[in-house]
Amino acid sequence: MRSEAAPQLGGLEMFASAGKGRGLRARRRFAVGELLFSCPAYAAVLTVSERGCHCDGCFARKERLSRCGRCKQAFYCNVKCQKEDWPMHKLECASMCTFGENWHPSETVRLAARILAKQKTHPERTQSEKLLSVKEFESHLDKLDNEKRELIQNDIAALHHFYSKHLDYPDNAALVVLFAQVNCNGFVIEDEELSHLGSAIFPDVALMNHSCCPNVIVTYKGTLAEVRAVREIDPGEEIFSSYIDLLYPTEDRNDRLRDSYFFSCDCRECTTKEKDKEKLEICKLNDPPSAETVKEMIKYARNVIEEFRRAKHELLEICELSLDKMGAVFEDSNVYMLHMRYQAMGVCLYVQDWEGALCYGQKIIRPYSKHYPSYSLNVASMWLKLGRLYMTLKNRTAGVKALKRAIAIMEVAHGKDHPYISEIKKELEDH
């Protein structure tokens, strides 16, 4: 019997990847910076904090957006965007009016509600599902521990609490599967400085497997995901993106992958651990710290990072004290030092201490450029932050240099015609 042809998308095809399940591979050569494919969001939700700054429908960043006349909480570019988003926004509009300030479902709950509504109104495959449908998502249900199952039940309770009028619910077992699928296959949409804009589902993008040595990068143009090559890809080669932040050493990366995606990575970077020594560089002292001291400091660094995530007050003091303590053992390029400097920079930006933010950013950028891949959004974002800080502090020469470095990376990662790049070039002209 003749075997069924593998689903294809342009110069790509779905295939069975050894040890990884489904995957995506190239059927032709792709050059660095070339667009492999784009995928519109199957469902997307704008984060609440960005309402009024970005369109709830297309996520465009604009001034003088039009407000929804009913709930007064959703904003749109124009009538066209509002009408297109209404089938999804109506899930929330009446509920927002009813609950007022007490309307606070999580983005995961909001996204799940939109998926349920979309599956009812569009039972056929959509333009987002040319290779993989939402219903084919892996849920890893058998790998969920009690804590994750309890969190899902809390989300299901919130779904029932905040959504009722326009939503038909499947049974609890089906909802558990849906939330597990969203947790494993959802995407975070970020802007050019990697600030959180919202959450979305991109089925065809979710088909790509993970590698800590990715050959593509995923960027966003509103609610459209775009996948571009960050190195040359040969015919027959599997397409790999990265699911996680690649700054950290092998053990940390795999802890994150196991916790969120239920697998360990076996890429070259994880097998050789060749960058771990640089990422975990120790101070060059006459009396080097013992292996046990280093091990304890790594444990401390991980704990203080987690503590910082939960902290509500005195964040900058926590950063400075932690940097002093870790600096006795770790070199400035050590990734745990970089993480805490990044947090300190964020606090300075929040309180508008531009000089303090610049000082931290200057200490971050060189190690970032060494530890991250060549076309990293993290590196581009840091150059962009530095460029804008320099411009704010009237150092135009340094600002232009930094912004041009950001553009050089973004032209490969985002494509030369991306609106973000046009905005940055306009900043250069205006200064």
10, two tokens: 């342009």
Structure pTM? 0.89
In this structure, the number of other CB atoms found within 10 A of the CB of residue 422 comes to 11
User: What's 394's DSSP letter?
Assistant: T
Residues 207 and 184: beta-carbon distance below 8 Å:
no
143, two tokens: 């790998």
Separation between Cα atoms, residue 302 and residue 337, nearest integer Å: 11
Sorted by where each begins, the domain ranges of the chain are 8-239, 273-430
Separation between Cα atoms, residue 59 and residue 81, nearest integer Å: 10
State residue 101's pLDDT score.
86
Separation between Cα atoms, residue 8 and residue 26, nearest integer Å: 10
State residue 401's pLDDT score.
97
What values do phi and psi take at 202, rounded to 5?
A: -125, 90
CATH superfamily of 8-239: SET domain (2.170.270.10)
Q: Looking at domain 273-430, does it have CATH number 1.10.420.10?
A: no
Domains 8-239 and 273-430 are alike in CATH topology: no
Counting other chains too, the contacts that 154-160 makes at CB distance below 8 Å and 24 or more residues apart are 155/106, 155/108, 155/109, 155/112, 155/179, 158/105, 158/106, 158/109, 159/105, 159/109, 159/112, 159/113
In this structure, the number of other CB atoms found within 10 A of the CB of residue 14 comes to 18
State residue 203's pLDDT score.
97
What is the pLDDT tens value at each position of the chain, 431 positions in all?
334 455 668 899 999 999 999 999 999 999 999 999 999 999 999 999 999 999 999 999 998 999 999 999 999 999 999 999 999 999 999 899 999 889 999 999 999 999 999 999 899 999 999 999 999 999 999 999 999 999 999 999 999 999 977 788 999 999 999 999 999 999 999 999 999 999 999 999 999 999 999 999 999 999 999 999 999 999 999 999 999 999 999 999 999 999 999 999 999 999 999 999 999 999 988 888 999 999 999 999 988 887 776 665 578 888 899 999 999 999 999 999 999 999 999 999 988 899 999 999 999 999 999 999 999 999 999 999 999 999 999 999 999 999 999 999 999 999 999 999 999 999 998 87
| Beta strands across the sheet bearing 12-17 | 8-9, 12-17, 21-26
State residue 126's pLDDT score.
95
Residue burial 250-269, b: 16+ Cβ < 10 Å; e: rest: bebbbeebeeebebebebeb
Cα angle at 149 between 148 and 154, to 5 degrees? 95
Residue with the two structure tokens 């790594």: 298
410, two tokens: 């973004």
- DSSP of 93-143, one letter per residue? HHHHHHHGGG----HHHHHHHHHHHHHHH--S--TT-SS--GGG----GGG
Residue 384: CB partners within 8 Å, gap ≥ 6?
192, 193, 402, 403, 406, 424
User: Could you tell me whether strands 209-210 and 240-241 are parallel, antiparallel, or unpaired per DSSP bridges?
Assistant: parallel
